[in-house]
Amino acid sequence: MTFTFPLLLGGLLLIGIPVALHLLLRQKPKTVLFPAFRFLVKRHRTNLTKLRLRHILLMAMRVLLLAAIVLALAQPKVKDNPWSLPSDQAVAAVFIFDTSASMEYTVAANQSRLKDAQKRAVEMLKLLPENSEVVILDSADSLPIGKGDWLQRDKAAERIGQLTLHSANATVSARVAAALDLLTRIAVTKDDSQRGQRARVVCIFSDRTVASWDVRERKSLQELANHVLPTFDRLSSVYSGISEQEKLLAELPQRLATVIQSFPVEGLTGALQNLKERLPSLRAEDYPDKGTQPLLAAVRGKQQELLAILEQQSKSVPENAKEYHTKLTTALQTSLRNSAGFTAFYVDVGVEQPRDGALTDFQLLLESPVNGNSEAQFKLRADIQATGEDFRSTLACDATASPHDVTLDVKAGKREHVHFDLDKSKLKLGHHQVKVIATPGDQLPINNARYLTFAFRNVLVLADSPSDVQVQTWARAIEANHFGAARYRCEIKTPTSLGEKAPGMFNKYAAVFLCALKEPDDKLWNALADYAGKGGGIGVIPPAQESNKDRYNGKAAQEVLPATLDKIVDAKAPGVDWGWKGDIYKHPLLHPFQEWRLGKWDFVEYPRAATLYWQTEPRKEQVQVLVRYADAINHPALVEQVVEKKRGRAGRVLLFTTLPGWPIWNNYLENSFYVALVGRTIGYLSGDDDRPALNFISDQSVPRVPMPISGQAMAYKLYRDGAAPPAPFVAAVNVEEGQNEARIPQAAEPGNYTLRAGDTDPVAWFSVNLPPEESDLTKVPKMEIEAVLGPDAVLTIEGRTDLKEVMRGHVSRPVELMPILMLVLLVLLALENLLANKFYRRETQQV
Amino acid sequence: MSRAERYLKPEVIRQVSRLDLRAKFIVEGFLAGLHASPFQGFSVEFSEHRKYVPGDDLKDLDWNIFAKTDRYYIKKFEAETNVTGYLVMDLSESMAYTYRQELTKFEYAICLAAALGYLMIHQQDPVGLVTFDTQIRASLPPRSKRTQLANILALLSNLKPTGQTDIAGCIHQLAAMVRNKGLIMLFSDLLTDPEPVMKSLHHLRHRGHDIILFHILDEAEAHFPFDGLIEFKEVEGSGKLTLDARNMKGDYLRSLAEFKNFYKNECAKAAIDYVAMDTSVNFDKALMEYLLQRQRRF
């Protein structure tokens, strides 16, 4: 309750006057002799009680009369829904807008969801009381919120009008976390702005799609929300609700025994008790204080926990406990509303039954041949899903593929896929960019196209004899692997065929393998050292003869290699397996083995073993033994050296101690262990397994594109949907000296991108696509959102022309009590007169 | 209203100090109001003449006397069976009560008794007086001589109500004392337990007496005009009660009505005339009651 003239409440002291008069001027009875006394004796007790009651009644009437006069003059107002949007006092509000791609969904009159959200937000602004301040948050932003972000309503309306869709977007729930953090801070801030004392409001404008709200953050969001302190005037209602909750919780073990099994009720009753003891001692001038926040947060946390359990078990509540269940749920919800530090509205501008055909995936596949005669076939696969209704779509692919376009029917709620065959003979080394488009268009055009960049990358395999079976097998195993859209083509060369060895000669290769070279010279080692220093990946299979070890232990070789070679150890048949110890899986190269070993893979059932291996002496700095043999001394099996760089990806050198696939040395080739080892090695050394190098999702992570290693800073131009003009120019991109990758935040919209240095051919290719989940227009359950924002926070807009209609019952309007008090005053006055006349009418005549 | 009739009102008669004048005024006022003389048809044998007074029946006019003297005389007749009356006065302290400072119950009763005595003497009925409180205090044997009225009035004017009373005991005493059948006119406020009183009245009735019970209450006792917070004190005791009079009024009047109804019903059963009066009631009601009673006898 608030008062227009609170100082007048001092007049309540006047109510002491009738009490004092009653006590001081108590009527002295007149004495009368009366012979017929006997007739009075019978009923005098009842009569005396009635007399006293009348006097007290009259006094109470006069006290009430005075109190009503004073209260009426002070002009009290009450709020009809204290937890709703205030309409009379300025508020501190945070408006959060979902600007993700799904908000492009358009209904009649080209009204996108974002446009609708903007319109609703302006309507909401009008509902806010005068002098309210608003912060506008965009789900695409991740910038911290500063004091300058508080805007008056007119400025806020301008800012809302400037909002646009962003394909690179984060979840709305992430921005809610930022808003709650902001509200927590202002709730404990005492400054001239008085934001801390104002009612706080959070308004979210979103289509409520699953991609917009991360349900896994529920717990952390609840904790954040619980730390926003309520305004002081809400504490009285929090306090008054505690007794009822304590009473209900005392009955919980008898009424709902199943709840007790998963919820220790003592925790909540204890927290309520602590709060009950603290609240009466709080004074407005000391609030907010540090002690109350953890107590309130503890109570709210446990209330939410219990509420969640009650909701889960609501269907299995026994018939005789249903009333109790409802009572407890209502009491908890009311308490949570009262103790909330903010009022939240999630304005759902989404469409209840959306219709959309969406391309959700586009990828390159290498399909194994059905029979052994033909070669593996490259195919492009496009996935399309229908939402809301059946779709007939034509998918057109711009690659040299057959067929060029495919028409297919997709049932509502189903996902179908289409294959486009690629002619392997026409696939050259290097990068390729393709696009698939679904026609006709629909109400959400942004997900009607999908982009793909794939590359055939060169891997150099150096061997003394390229025709060796082991070398050929190694190369084929490399080519069989792919990471993301990167595929490999191996060049098998001898050291001599390389010609003059110079720094930079290996820059074009994704990785370089030395396959048991007998006599690598220092020039080769120097060129390799330069390559590793620029972030290249080198795999070294040691020589098969001890006599060649000097070439590996020389100074130039040791600039590259992580260890010296001592001697060849004969482990005798059946040989030794790797020592599969827990900590080896921490390394990214070996990490997948942990999962594989849990499965029934053949190399787990039948472990591979090395009978011959080099005894090595790892150097100490920047060297790590990744895995050791399970022999008596635990000789190193794989040794790695990381060549750190100031910027960009570090170089990696991996030294095998046995010759993988050489039958005398080990039996690795006899099962899938060999392929797995080669796959992990090429992925790790090329860097393709730890980053989607060519295809990116337009979330908030910035595309990091592999670049040719350059000794100087370079300026590039970024184009979309085409390698050169007339393709649209997007931005200029600068890559600093020594960088082997570029961060390109400008590439936010879906499309195929290329980077060119001047008029030369493109040097980098990549694609950006929408996150597939952005095309999932399924709604997040209201319960998930209301668990964080409070009961009834979600407001559905669809079909409503005016937000006011939706907000009916959610806006707290002050109810003027003066007219009611004036009526009460009149009634009291009449009653007082009536009673006084009735009691004293004849006394004046007779006494 | 004639001057004589005015004296039927207690508040007027209060201003007359002499009791004999009070009695005269009351009776004359009463007779004037009747428009017919009560002094006829009571006796069959001529006893004497008296002067005609307005209201006398013309058939009793002695035309012979008129012829001789040219004056109007009425023939009077000697009653063969006269009514012997006893005026019985309660002297309890409660009879001295008055609320409006006009006539006390006792004064009212005396006026009434004097008037009745005056009337009876003029009717040639012998009348006596008995007073009592806890016992019979004074008594005058019934006489019909004119001097008897003076004696009665002299005694009445000297009476003072004080102390306790024992109505029942005194009536029993009276029953034993009065041998000849007569008309007992009891003046009392009866503020004591009613059952013993009724028993004593039965005793009296059993002795063949006719009884007129004048139940005299003060106007305040009859109507309970009090309001507000009042401390009531007992007259013949030390009891006190603080009450809201307005709230009590209904209960009081109900209790009083029950009390009076008890006497009324019991008296009716015993063929006793019960005349409830209060000090605001005109005296003619009492006199009329007497005359009716007398008429019923003959």
Strand order from edge to edge, sheet including A133-138: A133-138, A91-97, A199-206, A343-348, A794-796
d(CA A413, CA B201): 113
Under a CB-based contact definition with an 8 Å cutoff, are residues A170 and A701 in contact? no
d(CA A341, CA A332): 16
Q: To 10 degrees, what angle do helices B194-206 and B167-177 make?
A: 10
Cβ separation B241–A41 shorter than 8 A: yes
d(CA A722, CA A768): 13
**Residue A159: both structure tokens together:** 């800012």
Residues of A in Cβ contact (< 8 Å) with B249: none
d(CA A386, CA A167): 21
Residue B40 has phi, psi (to 5 degrees) of -155, 150
**Residue B242: both structure tokens together:** 């603080």
d(CA A75, CA A81): 19
**Residue A601: both structure tokens together:** 């893979």
Cβ separation B248–A846 shorter than 8 A: no
pLDDT in tens, A4-56: 777 777 777 777 777 777 676 666 778 888 888 878 876 676 667 777 787 78
d(CA A192, CA A553): 73
Q: Say how far residue A171 (Cα) sits from the centre of its chain.
A: 5
For A:39-58, CB contacts with B below 8 A are 39-44, 47-48, 50-51, 54
Burial class (CB in 10 A: 0-12, 13-18, 19+), B36: exposed
Report, as ranges of residue numbers, the positions in chain A whose pLDDT lies below 70.
1-2, 22, 24-27, 42-43, 45-47, 79-85, 87, 191-193, 368-376, 400-401, 424, 484, 646-648, 690-693, 700, 709-713, 722-726, 799-801, 809, 811-813, 839-847
Cβ separation A36–B237 shorter than 8 A: no
- Which of the four pLDDT bands, split at 50, 70 and 90, describes residue B295? low
Q: How many contiguous H segments (helices) and E segments (strands) does chain B have?
A: 11, 10
Cβ separation B232–A37 shorter than 8 A: yes
d(CA A635, CA A38): 124
Q: In chain B, what is the greatest distance between 2 CA atoms, to the nearest angstrom?
A: 75
Q: Which of B217, B227, B239 sits opposite A37 (nearest CB)?
A: B239
Under a CB-based contact definition with an 8 Å cutoff, are residues A666 and A466 in contact? no
Residues of A in Cβ contact (< 8 Å) with B256: 36, 39
**Residue A739: both structure tokens together:** 């960088």
Question: In sequence order, what are the residues at sequence separation of 6 or more whose Cβ sits closer than 8 angstroms to the Cβ of residue B220?
Answer: A34, B99, B100, B226
Per the document, the length of chain B is 298
pLDDT in tens, A309-368: 888 888 888 888 888 999 999 999 889 888 888 888 999 988 888 888 899 998 888 776
Give the closest-approach CA distance of B106 to chain A in angstroms: 13
Question: Which 3 state secondary structure label does DSSP give A771?
Answer: coil
**Residue A153: both structure tokens together:** 């309503």
Which of B99, B192, B219, B247 to mutate to test binding with chain A, by most A CBs within 10 Å of its CB?
A: B247
**Residue A671: both structure tokens together:** 């099962």
CA-nearest residue to A31 within chain B is B231
Residues of A in Cβ contact (< 8 Å) with B242: 29, 48
* DSSP secondary structure of A421-475: EE-GGG--SEEEEEEEEEES--S-GGGSEEEEEEEEEEEEEEES-TT-HHHHHHH
Under a CB-based contact definition with an 8 Å cutoff, are residues A105 and A443 in contact? yes
Cβ separation B247–A47 shorter than 8 A: yes
- Which of the four pLDDT bands, split at 50, 70 and 90, describes residue B11? low
Residues of B in Cβ contact (< 8 Å) with A840: 228
Half-sphere exposure of A832 (CA within 13 A, CB side): 16
Please list the alpha-helical segments (H only) found in A741-802.
Answer: 782-789
Give the closest-approach CA distance of A338 to chain B in angstroms: 51
Q: To 10 degrees, what angle do helices A818-840 and A44-74 make?
A: 150
pLDDT in tens, B12-26: 566 555 656 566 666
Please list the alpha-helical segments (H only) found in B123-193.
Answer: 146-157, 167-177
Residues of B in Cβ contact (< 8 Å) with A30: 228-231
d(CA A557, CA A549): 10
Cβ separation B237–A37 shorter than 8 A: yes
For A:8-37, CB contacts with B below 8 A are 27-37
d(CA A258, CA A327): 17
Q: What is the pLDDT of residue A843?
A: 43
Cβ separation B227–A32 shorter than 8 A: no
d(CA A388, CA A436): 22
C-alpha separations of A681 from A395, A511, A650, B243 in Å: 37, 10, 15, 111
Per the document, the length of chain A is 847
- Which of the four pLDDT bands, split at 50, 70 and 90, describes residue B82? low
Under a CB-based contact definition with an 8 Å cutoff, are residues A297 and A243 in contact? no
Residues of B in Cβ contact (< 8 Å) with A48: 242-244
Q: Which of A27, A40, A51 sits opposite B252 (nearest CB)?
A: A40
Q: What is the pLDDT of residue B1?
A: 46
Give the closest-approach CA distance of B173 to chain A in angstroms: 25
Nearest to A651 by CA among A642, A659, A660: A642
- Which of the four pLDDT bands, split at 50, 70 and 90, describes residue B298? low
Q: In the 3-class helix/strand/coil scheme, how is A383-427 assigned residue by residue?
A: EEEEECCCEEEEEEECCCEECCEEEEEECECCEEEEEEEECHHHC
CA-nearest residue to A839 within chain B is B228
d(CA A570, CA A566): 13
The dihedral region occupied by A264, where left means phi > 0, alpha psi between -120 and 50, and beta the remainder, is beta
pLDDT in tens, B86-132: 999 998 888 888 887 677 888 888 888 888 888 777 777 788 999 99
Residues of A in Cβ contact (< 8 Å) with B232: 32-34, 37, 40
Beta strands at A111-112 and A106-107: parallel, antiparallel or unpaired: antiparallel
**Residue A703: both structure tokens together:** 């595309």
d(CA A334, CA A331): 5
**Residue B266: both structure tokens together:** 């019991």
| A·B CB contacts under 8 A | 103
Residue A562 has phi, psi (to 5 degrees) of -85, -10
- Which of the four pLDDT bands, split at 50, 70 and 90, describes residue B210? confident
